[in-house]
Amino acid sequence: MKTRGKKRRKFQRQGTFHVYIVVCADGTYYTGSTGDLQKRIALHNKGRGAKYLRGKRPVELVYARKYCYYKLAVTAERKIKQFTRRQKEKLMNASAV
């Protein structure tokens, strides 16, 4: 079956994936996931990462957790994105980078 107009991305399902939280220059938190954490943070600081962060540079990594499976990382990212600021701070304090 062909998919029209959309290319299907091929994700590596097993490997090293990171869920991370960065603090922006304005004090807000951004949560994301990636396969290459250092590269992603560098992209955020160059303004080539998430659109949300482009006007909030520089960003500083304050939390990161490693996962072996893509699905686990994405599930954790979605859960953390629903956290309140206080819950995110509690998570960061429990496991400092």
What's the pLDDT score for residue 51?
87
CA atoms within 13 A on the CB side of 55: 1
Say whether 69 sits in a helix, a strand or coil. strand
Task: State in words which class domain 14-87 has.
Answer: alpha beta
pTM over 0.75: yes
What's the pLDDT score for residue 54?
85
pLDDT score of 3 more than 90: no
Distance of CA 88 to the CA centre of its chain: 13
CA atoms within 13 A on the CB side of 39: 6
Give 6-25 pLDDT, tens digit per residue: 666 555 677 899 999 999 99
Residue ranges of the domains in the chain?
14-87
How many angstroms separate the CA atoms of 20 and 7, rounded?
27
What's the pLDDT score for residue 11?
58
**Residue 1 identity:** M
Give 46-83 pLDDT, tens digit per residue: 999 888 888 899 999 999 999 999 999 999 999 999 99
Residue carrying structure tokens 């922006």 = 24
Q: Are the C-beta atoms of 31 and 21 separated by less than 8 Å?
A: yes
